[in-house]
Amino acid sequence: DAGVTQSPTHLIKTRGQQVTLRCSPKSGHDTVSWYQQALGQGPQFIFQYYEEEERQRGNFPDRFSGHQFPNYSSELNVNALLLGDSALYLCASSFAGRADTQYFGPGTRLTVL
C-alpha cells in the first residue's frame, strides 16, 4: 500500500521564479492538504483540497495556489518566489471527514536563492 508521495525531493530556485510541487495521496484517500515547514519550526497550514476545490486556506498570500486532479493528486504552485519561501513543503492526505487523520509525505525541500 503506497503512502503519500511527493516530487521532487529537492528544488533550487531563484527569487522571482515560479515553482510547482506535486503530491499523490495515500491509496483510498480523497483529500490533500499542504503545509509549509520553515527550518526549526512546526508545519503551517497552507490549504486543503477536496473534490478538486480549495475548501480551507491558511494565512498565506495569493502567490500560493493549488490544484487537485480527478485522480485526487495535487499540485502546489508558488509564484514570484521570495527568499522567505525556502522551506520543507509537506503534503498530507486523508479522507473527507473532519475527524480523519492526515498522513504526511516525505516533503519537498525548496531553496530560494
**Which residues here bind other proteins, judged by CB under 8 A?**
4, 6, 31, 33, 35, 40-45, 48, 55-56, 58, 90, 92, 98-99, 101-107, 109
Measured in degrees and rounded to the nearest 5, phi and psi for residue 106 equal: -75, -15
Q: How far apart are CA 102 and CA 109, in angstroms?
A: 20
Q: Select 15 or 52, whichever has its Cβ closest to other proteins.
A: 52
Closest separation between CB of residue 77 and other proteins, Å?
19
Sign of dihedral through CA atoms 93, 95, 96, 101? negative
Closest separation between CB of residue 51 and other proteins, Å?
13
Geometric angle at alpha carbon 96, from 76 and 10, rounded to 5°: 25
Closest separation between CB of residue 88 and other proteins, Å?
8
